[in-house]
Amino acid sequence: MGVMSIRARFRLDQVSRSRAFYKEPGAEEAQSVEGAFVQLNGVQGEPFGSATPSAHLEMLIVNPAAAAVFFNAHIGQEFDLVISPAKG
């Protein structure tokens, strides 16, 4: 059997700004940045099925480019996540 991955859909229910520190690849020191603290909840449908899912995901995102994705999103926007085993 090959490596299995799961696609899960989550809805953005909260995003807030947070002070964070991010070190650019190759940089000597971390810099103060605006991080995004996000809360996402599972959406009905596969892989959760037709019942209301109890899936919840919280993240503090310090990479400015990745944080901007959530700062620019509207509350209620849905995101697909792909979950697969990590290598090594």
Over residues 17-56, the pLDDT tens digits come to: 999 999 989 999 999 999 999 999 988 876 666 666 678 9
State the pLDDT at residue 28: 93
Owning domain of residue 63: 11-23+31-80
Residue 52: inside a domain: yes
Radius of gyration of the chain (CA): 16
State the pLDDT at residue 3: 62
What is the sign, positive or negative, of the torsion defined by CA atoms of 13, 16, 20, 26? positive
State the pLDDT at residue 76: 97
- pLDDT reading at 66 higher than 90: yes
Residue 5: inside a domain: no
Question: Smallest Cα–Cα separation from 18: which of 59, 49, 48, 56?
Answer: 59
Query: How many domains does one find in the chain?
Result: 1
For the whole prediction, is pTM greater than 0.85?
no
State the pLDDT at residue 44: 80
Residue 6: inside a domain: no
Strands 31-42 and 78-83: unpaired
Residue 54: inside a domain: yes
